[in-house]
Chains A and B, each alone.
Chain A
Amino acid sequence: MNVEQTTLPKKFHDAVLHWQRHHFPDYDLLPKYWEKYFPNEPEFCLCAKMEIGMGDTIEVGDRKGQPRMLKPAEMGEDAAGHLLAIIRAQASTEFGSIQQHEGTLARAQDDEDRFWVLRVMAEELRHGYQMFHMLTSQDWSSVSSQKAEEMVEEILSMRTGSHVLDAFNLDYDSFVDNVVFAAVIDRVGKYQLSMQRVCSYKPFAQSMPPMLREEAFHLAAGVIPLRRWVQRAAQGNELVTVSAIQKSFHKWFPRGLEMFGHEKGGESNVRFGFKNMKNAEAQSQYYDECRKMIADLNQRYVRARSPKLSPEQAETLVSRVLQDGTRDGVAREDLLELPDPRFFRRKGEPAWTLIGTRGEAFETVDGYLEHLKAQLPEAYLASRDMSLYIGTLREVVAGTLAPEQASKRMPSLKRVGGVCPCSKSVRWIVEEPGEAATPTPPAPDRVVPGAV
C-alpha cells in the first residue's frame, strides 16, 4: 500500500479544526494517551490519503474499459451531479457520527473501549476531511452552483437531526449505542467504501483503500466489546445486559438496511461505474454478515455459560434454543437475534409495514406500538424521532399519507445552524484577507437514494 498524504488549504483545514473544537473536544485526549492504548502504532494524521498505484481503467458500468476520469467535467452532468451528492452525503455521515459518539463517549465503563471509540471518531474526522478534499480540490461548478466554501460550510453546519441519512440523525442513549453503532452502521460504511473502490472517478476510488483499512478497526471496536459484554452477561456479572444490546440492535439495524438505498435502486451507481453492486445485492450480503456476527456473539455467550461445550455443541444449543425455547438453562431471551429485515422500516420496499422483530404482522398501529415499546431502548422511545415516526405511521395506515411521501418526510428534525456556536457572526470557514466568498444559507436536506 502506497499512500500520498495531502493537507487541505489552510482555511478548510482550520474550519475542520474549528468544528472539532466545538463538536469533538475529546479529540485532544487522543495524542496524550495514544502510546498507552495504541503502542508503537503510527500516530494519527488529520489529512487526506490517496492510494497510489490503483488501476487507470474503469471496471464496471457504461464506460467499462475506458480510462478512469480525473475531473468532474469529464463525467458528464448526470454522473457528476450524482457523484457530488454521494460525496456530500458521505461527508455528512462522517461528521454526523462524531456528533453522535461524543454525546455518550465519556460514559464508557472501560477505558480501553472508550479510547477505541475515540480513535474511531478521529478517523471519522479524517474521512470527513477526505471528502472535503474531494469537494475542494476540483471544480464542481458544472453541476453545482455552490462554491467549495459553501459546500463545506453547509456540511459543517449540520447537526444530529439535520444530516442527510437517518442513521446519523438519532442521538445515542448510552455507550451501548456507541458500540452497536460501530458494529452495525460502520459495517454499512465498509460495504459502501468497498463498492466505491471501483469508482470510475479516480480521486474518489483512490480515497477508498485508506478509509477501508481504518474502517476495519471501527468494526472491531464494535464487535470485540460486544463479545466481552455477552461473555460477562453469561457469567452473571454484567452491567450491560443482553436485552440492552438486543434493543440497541433493534434501533440501529433497520437504519443500517436503509442506508443501502431502496431495494430496487442502485442501477445508476453501477451504470456510472461508481459502485459494483446494486442496492439489493449489497444489502443482502450485509444482512448475511450481520447474521454471522450475531451467531458469533451467541456462541460466545453459550460457551461462557457452559465452557465444556465444544464449538459444535454450542452451535447446536443456540439453534435449538432459538427454535424451541429454553434448553440447558439458556432461554431465547438470553441470546441475540437479528430482527426481520422488514421490522421498523421507514424507507425502502417494506417501509411503513407493521412487521415485528420476528416477522410477525400486526393489525393496528397501537398493537405495533406496544411491540415497539417492548423491543426498543426505553430512552429512544421518548425521543422526538419516535414520536415523529409513530405520527407518520398513523397517517400512512389511515390512508391520509402515501408511503412514498412519508418516507420523504424522514428525517425532518431540522436543526441546521449556519453559524459557529461560539459567535453569531463567525462561520466555520474564516476567509483569508482578500477573499470575498460569502456562504449562502444552507440548502435544504436532500435525501440521496443509495448514497452514503
Chain B
Amino acid sequence: MYSQAVSATPGQVRIRTLSELDISGIVAIDERLTGVYRPDVWERRVGYYIRRDADACPVAEADGKVVGFMFSDVRGGEFGLEETSGWIERFGVDPDYQGRSIGRRLFEAVVAHLKERGASVMRTIVDQKDEELASFLRAVGFRNAPLTALELPMSGASDGAAGAGKPGAASRPTGQKP
C-alpha cells in the first residue's frame, strides 16, 4: 500500500490512503471550492470507495488536515472496454494548497496502485467546458480517446445524487487549479 511507501516530504504534504475520518476534510474542500455544504453526498461517496478499494483513493494531508483527494477504481468489461481500466472519478485540492503539484502527486499514487491491480489504461470523462481540468489531465499524460460520451436527457427524471458524480466521470469543484 502506498500509504506506507510515501511518507511526509519537505513540503509537509504526505499522500496516504483514504479513511472514513477524511469525510469532514473532503466536505470542507468541496465547500471551499463550490460554496455548497453537502456532507451527505460525500458520506455516500467515501463509503462507496472505501468498500471498493480505499487504496485507489489517495488523500493529501498537511499538518493533520486533508488538503486534496482523488477517487478512482479499477473496472473491466464496461462499455465494451474489455481491458482492465483504471477510472478517475473525483478529485479536489484545497485552494490554499493549489499550485504545489498535489494533484500530480495524487495522480501518481493512483497510477502506481492501479497498475499494481492490473490496469492497463487510465480513463476518465471530462466536461468539455472545463478547460482547466482537461489541461491538468493532459499535463499528466491523458490523450483524447477514440470514444464519445453520449447522453439522453430523460424528461421528468430526478437528478438523483446531485453532485455525487457519474461512475467514471472525472469531475471536480469549479474554480480550482489541480
Contact = CB atoms under 8 A, between A and B. Distances in A.
Interface of A: 1-2, 38, 41, 116, 197, 209, 213, 216-217, 219-220, 222-224, 227-228, 231, 289, 292-293, 296, 299-300, 303, 307, 311
Contact of B19 (A41, A219, A299, A307): A219
A198 B46 CA distance: 28
B116 A293 contact: no
Interface string B23-54: 11000100100000101100100110011111
Nearest to A112: B47
B20 A220 contact: yes
Given A209-B1, A216-B20, A296-B21, A227 B39 contact: yes
Nearest to A53: B116
A219 B21 CA distance: 9
B55 A300 contact: no
A307 B27 CA distance: 13
Given A38-B51, A223-B23, A303-B39, 19 more contacts: A216-B19, A216-B20, A219-B19, A220-B20, A220-B47, A220-B50, A224-B20, A224-B23, A224-B43, A227-B43, A228-B43, A292-B21, A296-B21, A296-B23, A296-B24, A299-B24, A300-B24, A303-B37, A311-B24
27 contacts: A1-B1, A1-B55, A1-B116, A41-B51, A41-B52, A197-B4, A213-B53, A213-B55, A216-B54, A217-B47, A217-B51, A219-B19, A219-B20, A220-B20, A220-B46, A223-B20, A223-B21, A223-B23, A224-B43, A228-B43, A231-B39, A292-B21, A296-B21, A299-B24, A300-B24, A307-B37, A311-B31
Contacts of B1: 1, 209
B117 interface: yes
Contacts, number: 60
Contacts of B47: 116, 217, 220, 224
Contacts of B117: 1
Contact of A293 (B21, B31, B43, B51): B21
A197 B54 CA distance: 17
Nearest to B19: A216
Contacts of B55: 1, 213
A292 B24 CA distance: 10
Q: Summarize A's interface: helix, strand, loop or mixed.
A: helix
B146 to A, nearest CB: 25
B164 to A, nearest CB: 14
Given A217-B50, A300-B39, A311 B28 contact: yes
Contacts of B116: 1-2
Contacts of B46: 220, 224
B144 to A, nearest CB: 27
A54 B25 CA distance: 32
A289 B21 contact: yes
Contacts of A216: 17, 19-20, 50, 54
Nearest to A227: B43
Contacts of B50: 216-217, 220
Contacts of B17: 216
B150 to A, nearest CB: 21
Of the listed residues B4, B19, B21, the one surrounded by the most CB atoms of chain A closer than 10 A to its CB is B21
Nearest to B118: A2
Contacts of A227: 23, 39, 43
B14 to A, nearest CB: 16
A289 to B, nearest CB: 7
A346 B42 CA distance: 39
A115 B40 CA distance: 19
Nearest to B31: A311
Contacts of A296: 21, 23-24
A173 B40 CA distance: 28
Of the listed residues B43, B55, B116, B117, the one surrounded by the most CB atoms of chain A closer than 10 A to its CB is B43
A2 B74 CA distance: 14
A227 B31 CA distance: 18
B23 to A, nearest CB: 7
Nearest to A190: B19
| 4 residue pairs, one from A and one from B, having the closest CB atoms | A220-B20, A223-B20, A296-B24, A220-B50
A213 B3 CA distance: 12
A296 B64 CA distance: 13
A330 to B, nearest CB: 18
A205 to B, nearest CB: 12
Nearest to B116: A1
B16 to A, nearest CB: 12
Of the listed residues A219, A220, A307, the one surrounded by the most CB atoms of chain B closer than 10 A to its CB is A220
A224 B39 CA distance: 10
A198 to B, nearest CB: 10
A311 B23 CA distance: 13
